[in-house]
Amino acid sequence: MSSIDETKQFVPLNIAVLTVSDTRSLADDKSGATLADRLTAAGHHLAAREIAVDDVDAIRVIIKRWIADANVDAIITTGGTGFTGRDVTPEAVEPLFEKRMDGFSIAFHMLSHAKIGTSTVQSRATAGVAGATFIFCLPGSPGACRDAWDGILAAQLDYRTRPCNFVEIMPRLDEHLRRPKAKGASA
């Protein structure tokens, strides 16, 4: 079981929230608001919050901009993870991943199954790392966003969580980009 090490200081992250929807605006975006409220209540900073239509290119433009922004440590999307024709968030985001985080999807589905049973299989929640930025793609319901934040992300985005957390490995996410090639190495 994880626990909080009270001897360590909390490290606030800059987290961007993207709602993927053809029908929502910031005024009626309950899922994005749920995430923004929870992350700021935890002590993190809301780096940005936007809405994109269910379109691969529209989603990628925003995600790529945030990946390139040194002031964004993590991105959370909500919406577009289902199976309808307009649900394209995984198709837009997964090709950007340098590393997939398969354990996130497994943990999310375990939590979700406990709440909504087999209906959890209708979500393609996914996560990964791109450009030293963590990216988490959640379903478009406030309940799913609450479950993912409360059950996974709040702890993993808290430097004090033991035995391990995402924050402590952040300085090493792009080490492969900083490391010079060994002499004599090809390619």
**pLDDT single digits (tens) 35-78:** 999 999 999 999 999 999 999 999 999 999 999 999 999 999 99
Cβ–Cβ contacts within 10 Å for residue 80, how many?
30
**What does pTM read for this prediction?**
0.93
pLDDT for residue 44: 98
Q: CA-to-CA distance for 30 and 143, rounded, in angstroms?
A: 10
pLDDT of res. 185: 46
Cβ burial of 6 (10 Å; 0-12, 13-18, 19+) is exposed
Q: How confident is the model over 22-37, as a mean pLDDT?
A: 95
Average pLDDT, the chain: 94
pLDDT band for position 1 (cuts 50, 70, 90): confident
Q: Which amino acid is at 151?
A: G
CA distance 186 to 121: 44
- Hey, which bits of 37-125 come out as E strands? 45-52, 74-78, 99-100
Query: Are β-strands 3-4 and 133-138 bridged in parallel, bridged antiparallel, or unpaired?
Result: unpaired
